[in-house]
Structure formats: structure tokens, C-alpha cells
Amino acid sequence: MDLELMINSFPRLLNATVVTLKLLSLSLFFGLFIGLLFAVMRMSNNLILNRFAYGYSYLFRGTPLLVQIFIIYFGFGQIEFIRNSILWVILKEPYWCAIIAFALNTGAYTSEILRSAFQTIKKGYIEAGKSLGISSKIIFYKIQIPIAIRQSLPAYGNEIILMLKGTSLASTVTLMDLTGVAKYIISTTFKPIEVFIVAGSIYLFMTFAIHNFIKFLEKKYSY
Amino acid sequence: MNIFKKTIISVLASLFIMTNVYSDTIKIGTEGAYPPWNSKDASGKLIGFEVELAWTLCRYIGKQCEIVEQDWDGMIPALLMRKFDAIMAGMSITDERLKTINFSQGYADEVAQLAVMKGSDLEGIDTPSGINLSIGGGAVKKALKTIEGALAGKTVCVQTATIHQNFLDSGDVGSVNVRTYKTQDEVNLDLASGRCDVALAAAVAFTDYAEKSGKPVVLVGPTFSGGAFGNGVGVGIRKGGSGAIGERDAQLLKDFNMAINKARKNGDISRIATKWFGFDASM
């Protein structure tokens, strides 16, 4: 065990953690909107919207995240038409390719989490709102969404943790995130165990923080 | 003893037999993704200069061999953890690596070169046709300065943990915006797509790609050798420790050196190199 290497690599790995956290927060931010949109589409009576949302979630939950990143990064880069389009400004950058892949992936899972949360809302709450003469739009924003978010907290907390670990795949498209820098240090020191123990501990600590934050929110918004 | 117990014991026993470190088969690790050094054919079989050379060397050593695949960035750690006994993966002999593992004498040499897509402004770069970093001197310094200027503001792509990455990180050509990839295939893909302005690798890796893909990849600047680029490609072997296992590693180094001598004398290395590279890359 090379303790000195572990201590020396810690600040560099901590620096890389910033990249990991940026990737995570941006993906979750976009993913939440995508998830909400598709959850609402899934509950719509319009068959086309419904099927489209179902197909989206089926596709992104049914294929590995790594494959999705590779298709978006290496796959789209091979298509002349995309390279000549305005899309290339974004798709040229590995950073945005990773965020697009992560957001689409977590969006699919989030849509399922939110859909099931919406479906567990008791009819009574909505009917109570209606009988008070509140418009269905207000009922959706002020009653259904808050309850659905509370209901989905435990499952969504899991999704955040899964996504945190998913961001490690960003290193496969050249990004220097926590895993990327860990691999770089290993490539010059040839000591994988020491470096991965430090990197793994940082991941573990982040998971610990997320887990407790979600637990705190659950308590705060319990009813 | 019932049948259930017997089965478990025999399964466990077979596991131990399979991982026996005293096994007489030499396991050789290669990447299988660095043509023409080593790669895979359409059916997934390992092929290339080093795969063919490995079988030849094993014949001279007179032992059974097995060639196994290993990702490049885990090659040396895997050797140290005894997943295999020797590395033949286009790995150059460098001082950095010699701190951790041993190398046999070199069996082939490669020069590194920058590559761009046709039409790049780097195409006109004015340098000598080749520089040797070990020799140094005014001409080399001047060429490095020219390259430093040409690479400024460009995204330079390399495979991770290679001599090419070491060179770009060394500061010899200033501070370069380096992007690292897991395999050379991925470097080639992103060079062709335009994500990389310029790439650095063994010159043959680019000519091989240009030939097979039909993409207009052009080599620019000088060929690099010496210094960070090491002293040829050799067989990587664990440093012999104490005890029977250490002795086996030390013996393996002797065996490979002997086999390389014989293969060189008999013209095997030249013949196989010419077959795969199109020129005699043996040393």
C-alpha cells in the first residue's frame, strides 16, 4: 500500500470531483424537465403522445448508458450531415455529449418515477379541489405536482445516486472527471488499488451526502 | 461423501489448478487494438505483427503460449497482478516504465509523428524530417519551438498512457491542450470527425488507418524518436522478486532475450515486420 500516493492524489481527485458534480447537476437539471414532460405525456389520453413517451422510456431504459454515450459521441460524429449542421457546435464538445446522454437517460427513469407517483395520488385530493371550484390547471400545479414530488423522493434519491455513479462513464469520452483523473494517475504510477480506493471513497462520501439530504427532505415534507 | 460435496470440491480444485502460478504455459498480454502491431480480425481472432512474433518466440523458447487480451490502460497493472507473464503490445522501453517492470531487448522500433486531416493549416509546418530527442542540440530545439507554435490553441489527441502522451505532457512543446483516449481507434475516429485538430501516435498507426478507412489523414512535422519516445519496443516482464515465482520471472526474461536473438539471426523478425508494416521495422 502506497500511502504517500494516496495522499498526493487526493487533491487532484478532489479537483476532478468538481467536474463530476457539474456533470451530475446539469444532467439532473435537464433530466428533471425531460422526466416531467414525458410523465405528463404518459398520462395523456392522446394516444400518439402516450405511445411516444412510452417508446422513449422503453428505449433509454432498455439500453446501456455506455452505448448511449458512444452513439451520441462517436456515432453522430461520423455522420457528415450532422457535422455540417449547427448541431455540431454542441456535439463537437465531449462535455455536452455526455450531458445530453446523461440527461436523456435520467429523464427516462425520472419520467417513470414521476408517472407512478402521479398515479398514486388519491382521487379524493383532486375531487376536493374540484368541489372547491379550483381550475384543473391550478390543481395540477398546486396539488398534484407537490404530492408527486414528495411521493417520488425515495425513488428519485436512488436515481440521483445511480446517476452519480453513471457520470463515471464520462471518462470514456475523454472527460477528466473523477474516474478519468483516477485512470490518468494510474497510467503514470501503475498502482490502481491505491488510487481507486481514494476515488471510491470520494464517490462513497458523495452518495452518503445525497442519501442524507434526501432523507432530510423526506422528513421535512412528510405529511 | 455425497455427490454434492464431491462436485463442489472438484470445482474448487479445478479453479486452483487453473490459477496455478507455476503453470508452464507462458501467458502473453496484448491490446488487440493497435494495428498493425496487434489487432483483431473480423472474427475476433488476435492478429498482427506481435501476435505472429509471439508464436515464433514461443517456439524458440520451447514452451506453450497463450495470448490474452487486455485494455491498454491496465496493461502494466495486469502484468503486476499476474494476469499474464509478458507484455507484447507495442510497448516502448522507457525509463518511466523501467522503474516498474523489466523489458527484454527491443525487437522493433517505431517512429512517432503528428497527423492532421488534409487541408489543415499544420500541413505547411517547416521542420527537419526527423528529430531524435536523445541527441538534442540546436536543430532539435528549433524544431520543438516550431511545433510548440503550431500546436498552440489546438486540441491534440493521443491514446492514454502512451509515450506520445508523455511527450506532450513533458513540456518539451510547451503547454498543450491534450485530449486522451482509451484506444488509438478512438483517436482516429475523432481526428476524422474534426474533434481533434491534430493527433500524435506511431506513424504506422495513422498510415494503416488512412489506408483502411480511405480518410485523408496526412502525416506532418518530423518523425520523433529518443527521449520520451523510448528505445524501441520490447517484451515487458515483471521484475524478478524472491522465491520460486521471482526466479521464474527472471528466467522468462532470459528466455525472451535468447528467443529474440535467435529470431533476429534467422531473419524471422524482419520477415514478419515487413509482412505487417510494409517495411522492415525490426531492431
pLDDT digits (tens, 9 = 90+) for B166-180: 999 999 999 999 999
pLDDT at B20: 47
Asked if pLDDT for residue B19 goes beyond 70, the answer is: no
pLDDT for residue A187: 86
- A30, A215 Cβ separation under 8 angstroms: no
Q: Counting Cβ atoms within 10 Å, is residue B262 exposed (0-12), middle (13-18) or buried (19+)? A: middle
CB contact under 8 A, A172 and B74: no
CB atoms closer than 10 angstroms to residue A156? 22
- Below-70 pLDDT ranges, chain A: 223
Least CB–CB distance from A77: residue in B96, B160, B189: B189
Closest B-chain CA to A81: B193
Class of domain A3-220: mainly alpha
**Residue-wise pLDDT tens digits, B219-243:** 999 999 999 999 899 999 999 878 8
A77, A78, A187 member nearest B73 (Cβ)? A187
- Please indicate if any CB of chain B lies within 8 Å of the CB of A181: no
Q: Which residues pair with B264 in a beta bridge?
A: none
**Mean pLDDT, chain B, integer:** 91
Enumerate residues 6+ apart whose C-beta is below 8 A from A169. A65, A66, A69, A98
Q: How many CB atoms lie within 10 A of CB B163?
A: 27
Task: Tell me whether 0.85 is exceeded by the ipTM.
Answer: no
Reported as a single tens digit per residue, the pLDDT across B40-85 is 999 999 999 999 999 999 999 999 999 999 999 899 999 999 999 9
Residues of A in contact with B182 (CB under 8 A): 172
Whole-model pTM above 0.95? Answer: no
* B182–A contact, CB cutoff 8 A: yes
- Side chain identity at A35, as an amino acid letter? G
Q: What is the DSSP letter of A74?
A: I
Q: What is the pLDDT of residues A70-92, one digit of tens each?
A: 999 999 998 989 999 999 999 99
B195, A94: Cβ pair inside 8 Å?
A: yes
Decide if A84 touches B, using CB distance below 8 A. no
pLDDT band at residue B89 under the 50/70/90 scheme = very high
Burial of B27 (0-12, 13-18, 19+ CB in 10 A): middle
B10 touches chain A (CB under 8 A): no
Taking an 8 Å cut-off on Cβ atoms, the answer to whether B160 and A94 are in contact is no
Cross-chain Cβ contact B160/A188 below 8 Å: no
On the question of pLDDT at B1 being above 90, the answer is: no
Would you call A188 and B100 a contact, using CB atoms and an 8 Å cutoff? no
SS3 A198: helix
Residue in chain A closest to B162 (alpha carbons) equals A187
The pLDDT value given to residue A34: 97
Predicted confidence band of residue B120 (pLDDT cuts 50, 70, 90): very high
